[in-house]
Amino acid sequence: PDAALLAAWRGYQQAHRDYDAACARLPGGGTETDTAPLRRRIDAYQAKVERLPARSVAGVAVKLRLLFAQQLMTIDAHQAAIHDAPMTPELAAEMDADDEILWALIHDVERMTTSKEASI
């Protein structure tokens, strides 16, 4: 039921990977002009993820991950939420109780997705 939302999420993740790769390749990380097309692509996918309704547990997990990244607005939070990187000690130290609840909820919802898939 969330095919479009999950496809938008994968596009969002890939757009971020492409942006990171371009910044690493360009001298000094590139200019605003260099990265503008990539940022527009990221913004377009983000708008889709935000706009499309979640109709499954997997869709809810995607929306929670985006919320976490947007709420904390740090590189470590972004890497953990968007790219499923491990939680860094710095990120753990900066999270408040609400952030910790949200992060735990993301993993609870993802476990529900995994257990539901296993039972099908």
Contact of 65 with 5, CB cutoff 8 Å: no
In this predicted model, what pLDDT tens digit does every residue of 59-87 receive, in sequence order? Answer: 999 999 999 999 999 999 999 999 999 99
What per-residue confidence (pLDDT) applies to 114? 77
Q: Report which residue type is found at 28.
A: G
User: 116: pLDDT confidence band, cut at 50, 70 and 90?
Assistant: low
Residue pointed to by tokens 């904390």: 72
Report which of residues 113 and 64 the model is more confident about. 64
What per-residue confidence (pLDDT) applies to 120? 36
User: 119: pLDDT confidence band, cut at 50, 70 and 90?
Assistant: very low
3-state secondary structure of 2: coil
For residues 103, 56, 75, 29, the Cα torsion angle rounded to the nearest 10 degrees is 170
In this predicted model, what pLDDT tens digit does every residue of 3-49 receive, in sequence order? Answer: 999 999 999 999 999 999 999 999 998 899 999 999 999 999 999 99
What per-residue confidence (pLDDT) applies to 96? 97
What per-residue confidence (pLDDT) applies to 117? 55
In this predicted model, what pLDDT tens digit does every residue of 87-102 receive, in sequence order? Answer: 999 999 999 999 999 9
